[in-house]
Structure 1
Amino acid sequence: MALLISNRHYKLVFVLTVLVVVIITLVSAPVGGATNFAKPQIIDDVKQSVNDIIGSSIGTVATPWTADDAPEEPKAGDALKEAKELDVVKVSPGSKDVSKPAAAAAPVAAPVAAEQPKAGGIEANRDHAPENDVGKTPPATVAAAAAAAADDDSLDDSPLAEKKPASGSGKSEDCGEKYVVMIDAGSTGSRVHVYTFDTCVSPPKLLNEAFDMLKPGLSSFDTDTVGAAQSLDPLLAIALKTVPKDKQSCTPVAVKATAGLRLLGEDKSDAILKEVRRHLEEDFPFPVVDGDGVSIMDGSDEGVYAWVTTNYLLGNIGSAKKTPTTAVFDLGGGSTQIVFEPSKGEEMIEGEHKYSLSFGGRDFTLYQFSHLGYGLMQGRRKINSMVLSTALQTEEHANLKPAVDKSAKAEVEISHPCIPPGVVAENIEVELDDNTKYVVNFKSASEGADEGIVSSVATQCKFLAESILNKDLECESKPCSFNGIYQPSLRHQFPEESEMYIFSYFYDRLHPLGMPSSFSLEEMKEMTKVICSGSKHWESYLFDKNGIEHLEKEPQWCLDLSFMTSLLHTGYDIPLKRELKTADKISDNELGWCLGASLPLLEPGTASGWKCKVSKDV
């Protein structure tokens, strides 16, 4: 026979054969015999039985069919096409993955009596679906399988589930890949972050980050506003290269300046930011965020956004799970920020330091504070200013003249407790509190001394670092950190099992010297002692020659480490035995405030402060 009979048709053939035999037997029976009266009824019963068997076997109307009546073999892509037409499976724009339909889009029931497919996706259900004559799943059954797969919770661990919007996420139907351009205009340089997000999940998933940086910062241009604005062009070129051209008019850009520009003064900083906004709006395709889209960022926002970034990347926030959160300590050039979630044992007093935040279905009450003037560069300035001011009161240096301009060279050497033996810091610009500037060379205060005095360099420098923290200042609301600022105790109101992350300049000074990603504050203190003891001790402590090269190029490393250790231990009151973690990235994404500030900008609208840009040619 030309028709290939599959296993499930044997039953049909058998029944038809029986029917033929019965009919022949009845027809050939003697007329008037005992069986004559039953012949019509028997035939009807047999027909009904065959009809029932055929109907249950084929799963369609109970009418026998031949090979000529068989459905055509489905072509590649027909299953997904039909499923989409039935509104069973939806494909998100900009995504190749299949997402779960909204609850309102009820699956269309397939007109089959077969058992519904089990969980496992379309491929997994092929062996369980009824076959037609060529061993393929009928198209209607594929649609039902797709519907069942889309609605089955057991798919949560499959690749399909990754694109499934969370319940109540409020995701728009145009979800897909979206971009945000964030420029960090810091005190020592500017940095661009171009983020790519998958907005079909809640919270949005970070897919990629393009990053680049350049020096100097906007504040170095002083009154040259045009030069300041155009200095960002190489960073914006990265954004133009990263964001697809058809997405650029709906990709927001923001420029957030930090403490460095704030210290320049209101008039100069406002003029620079005004020119930056004009340059972006007129010369680039990206829509510029309204309001504070180009501005000096408030210190509280800077710290909280850094907290969001860190905890988002660590997976601590973004779901309803009560996961412990991480405390963050950010050290920039002009300021330092602390943000953490105090334990519920003691009520936090009211004030600007209290920050309420909702994220991923959870509410957080955070302590945050930005200490302006206590970034690493400002810490250096304060310590160096103290040393120079003391030297100017001596007869030897009483007649030292201020620097005429930035090109001035040092003419004198001044002893400095934070310079290790054998090291000279040349042509260091020092600004005093009255804004007068000097250029000097700093040499070690222990040069030529015996070993006992040399070992006290770290102690002397630590004393200077602690003195600028003003721990003796009146504390109106106890407990306080430094400068009389209220802060819930990290010893008593932050769980020991919760992590503490330090980054930015903390990482930049520790990582090159071989400090591991996790260490105690006591270990950091010991490293500081060794570095401040001089080059004779470096090789025995640092096994990486690159670390020694860094120390030789930066003679103020001892000062930096002393300030950082004092800030964490004396300032923030972190116990020496407490474990710290440092990093510049988590999962290849930069730490800092930029990611946290970008998340609210994903959707255009009044809340985010931007709308898609209309081309001038339209």
Structure 2
Amino acid sequence: MANLLLTLSLWLLAGSHFVRATYYRHHRYIPHFYRYREHTANTDNLLPDVSNPVPEVTQSGGSTNQEIPEVFHPAPESVHPMPEVFHHVPEVVHPAPESYLPPQVHHPAAPVPPFSSRVFYGIMFDAGSTGTRIHIYKFIQKDPGKTLPVLDSEMYHAIKPGLSEYKYNPEEGGNTIRQLLKIAKKTVPEEEWKRTPVVLRATAGLRLLTEEQAEGILKEVREVFEESPFYVPINSVSIMNGINEGVLAWVTVNFLTGHLYSNTRRTVGILDLGGGSTQITFLPKSKKTIETAPSSYTARFSLFNNTYELYTHSYLKNGLIAARLATLGALGADGLDWKVFTSPCLPKKYRAEVTFGGNTYKVSGIPDGYAGYKLCYYEVQRVIKGIFHQPYEVKGTNVFYAFSHYFDRANETGLIMCNKMTKYRPISPFLCMDMTYITCLLKEGFGFKDSTVLHLAKKVNNVETSWALGATFDFFRNFNIH
């Protein structure tokens, strides 16, 4: 299943189609309109051969873009020498303000032996709100110093819960990183450890914590990295901002689908639905999209001898898990020890405790009330209304790839509808709420038509669809995001 794409028509998720069935196990009920097909890309995951450096992009005077600080900063060689394989390229992600992430103290490192192998590795940790994922990429350098490397393979593993759940116990959070590093040690040959960079970027889960709580976790992760046998670059552990999260996910998907180095400039947009935040990013075809967008909703960067101006935005607290709690009225509420948060989106007899961001919430259906799609949709609308900007072009012909929880929910359910919720034992009591939220998010939030077709993908060419690969690319090629 991981290598397959699903095609989803939004009208099949909307309106009366939610009124009929409920909570069937997906292996018993598979709707006919989900079309499973192999993805065919225009490339074999090969980076193009580009020998000349990419010129730095500057803002023109009439641009509507708000200038964003450059995300890449070279590491002083005297502090922590960069392995020769990476050609002294700066890191991917802009560090948080100094008041939030104080400068790290790095011990002098022994000089790294000259690069001699054609095969090398990169390790990227994606520390999300619902889990931590490790991506171990294997590259082949055909002509060191002259061409970009070839992506050979990816080893991927995930562990739950996310680091934000350890805000009161950072040491335990550090132990989850140690577990994943054991996988890295088994995957990367021992002779390559000292030249293989290990990097962690945290997303919405840690952005939702207080500065003190987040820094406590990051400090613990830094110490775990320093204990490891891998190469630890400057600023190896930090929180990624939402703009980079969207842009780098766009880079990953368009690289894997073969669009980044096509002269036609036909690219695909991305929709990423995490646990704490959601991102939309695409390359506009019309100037009107950029002109009508808020200045902070655009990003400009140069990559593979092309300059791109993207529409991109990240909505914090609108990821799937955060949206559940917002729908229940629980997100940010007090009195969690005694309050029970109810919703018609849940089965009437359902009652449980839910943990998110280190907090525990008591949630329940409405025993003597109503439950179903219409009431649920009304509650979800209140979470989305007035928050989302609707890009000019989403009602057009742009192709979008949707992944993370978009794929997971569709793959698990096929189709979930919210009537007669008490008749069947649920495989997940939140499926009705989740699918209702996704429908409302796409229609009322982003403004997609009911007939819009989205391509759902967990992997493309056997590589995970996430920002992690795009972030890793910067160790070999610097592109400046403004």
Q: Secondary structure at the match of 1:239?
A: helix
Question: Does 1:555 pair with 2:442?
Answer: no
> 8 Å contact 1:490–1:574 — kept in the other structure?
no
Deviation per CA, 1:244-277: give whole Å up to 9, x if none: 1111111111011111112121011112111211
State the aligned residue count. 371
Q: CA distance change for structure 1 residues 588 and 248 in 2, over 3 Å: closer, same or farther? A: same
1:309 deviation in Å? Answer: 0.8
Shift of 1:278: 1.8
Q: How does 1:221-236 map to 2 (within 5 A)?
A: 221-236=166-181
> Structure 1 residues 387, 330: closer, same or farther in 2, change over 3 A?
closer
| 1:427 corresponds to 2:356 | no
Q: Compared with structure 1, are the counterparts of its residues 442 and 277 closer, same or farther at alpha carbon in structure 2 (3 Å cutoff)? A: same
1:363 pairs with 2:314: no
Q: Is the 8 A contact 2:48 2:148 kept in 1?
A: no
Give distance in 2, aligned partners of 1:440 and 1:167.
54
**Are the equivalent residues in 2 in contact too, given 1:342–1:488 (CA < 8 A)?**
no
User: CA offsets per residue over residues 137-187 of structure 1, 9 Å max, x none?
Assistant: xxxxxxxxxxxxxxxxxxxxxxxx999983635798967222110111111
Paired letter, 2:279: Q
Match of 2:269 among 309, 327, 342: 327
Alignment partner of 2:280 out of 324, 331, 338 = 338
After TM superposition, the structure 1 = structure 2 runs for residues 121-160 of structure 1, keeping only pairs within 5 Å, are none
Residue by residue over 1:330-363, the C-alpha shift from the partner in whole angstroms, topping out at 9 and shown as x without a partner, is 0111000110111134261462221112222221
- 1:502 equivalenced with 2:406 (yes/no): no
After superposition, what is the alpha-carbon deviation per residue over 1:388-443, rounded to whole angstroms, capped at 9, x for unaligned? 99xx9xxxxxxxx7527xxxxx9x7x7631124xx633223489xxx996524324
Aligned residue in 1 for 2:343: 416
Q: CA RMSD in A?
A: 3.3
Distance 1:373 1:267 in 2: 19
Q: After the TM superposition, which residues 445-594 of structure 1 pair with which residues of structure 2 at under 5 Å, given as runs?
A: 457-471=372-386, 483=387, 486-491=389-394, 495-496=396-397, 498-514=398-414, 527-528=415-416, 530-534=417-421, 536=423, 552-594=426-468
* 1:152-301 → structure 2 map (5 Å cutoff): 166=49, 168=51, 176-200=118-142, 203-281=148-226, 283-291=227-235, 293-301=236-244
CA contact (8 A) 2:325 2:331 kept: no
- Report Cα offsets for 1:195-250 as digits up to 9, x if no partner: 01223375533211111111121111113222221221111111111111111111
- Residues in 2 aligned to 1:572 and 1:367: alpha-carbon distance in whole angstroms: 12
Structure 1 CA distance, aligned partners of 2:380 and 2:50? Answer: 51
Percent identical: 32
Amino acid at match of 1:315: G
Q: Whose RCO is larger (CA < 8 A, sep 6+)?
A: 2
Quote the Cα distance in structure 2 between the aligned partners of 1:416 and 1:163.
49
- Superposed, 1:39-58 pairs within 5 Å as none
Change (3 A) 1:208 1:175: same
Amino acid at match of 2:455: K
Structure with a larger share of its residues in helix = 1
Asked which structure has the greater CA Rg, the reply is: 1
Q: Conserved in 2, the CA contact under 8 Å of 1:430 and 1:439? A: no
Amino acid in the other structure paired with 1:585: K
Measured in 1, the distance between the counterparts of 2:368 and 2:438 equals 21
Letter in 1 for 2:411: H
3-state DSSP class of the match of 2:441? helix
Query: Residues of 2 paired with 1:583 and 1:342: CA distance?
Result: 22
Counterpart residue number, 1:155: none
| Aligned partners of 2:353 and 2:360 also within 8 Å | no
**Among 403, 422, 427, the residue aligned to 2:337:** 403
Structure 2 counterpart of 1:613? none
The Cα shift of 1:531 comes to 3.9
SS of match in other structure, 1:325:
coil
What are the ranges of 5 or more consecutive residues in structure 1 without an aligned counterpart?
1-160, 393-400, 405-409, 448-453, 472-482, 515-526, 539-550, 609-618
Task: Please say if residues 418 and 532 of structure 1, whose CA atoms lie closer than 8 Å, have aligned partners that are also in contact.
Answer: no
1:459–1:486 CA distance, 2 compared to 1 (3 A): closer
Q: Is the 8 A contact 2:350 2:364 kept in 1?
A: yes
Q: Distance in 2 between matches of 1:379 and 1:205?
A: 39
| Residue in 2 that maps onto 1:50 | none
The normalised TM-score by structure 1 is 0.55
Matching residue's letter, 1:307 = W
1:381 to 2:296 alignment: no
Q: Is contact 2:289-2:392 (8 Å) kept?
A: no
Ranges of 4+ aligned residues in structure 1 off by more than 6 Å: 161-165, 170-173, 386-389
Checking the alignment, whether the CA contact within 8 Å between 2:394 and 2:446 is kept in structure 1 is no
Note if contact 1:179-1:197 (Cα within 8 Å) is conserved in structure 2. Answer: yes
Contact 2:45 2:255 in 1 (8 A): no
The answer on 1:354 being equivalent to 2:298 is yes
Query: Separation in 1 of the partners of 2:448 and 2:273?
Result: 15
Q: Give ranges in structure 2 of 5+ residues lacking alignment.
A: 1-43, 54-84, 88-114
Other-structure match for 1:9: none
Bigger strand share: 2
Shift of 1:552: 1.8
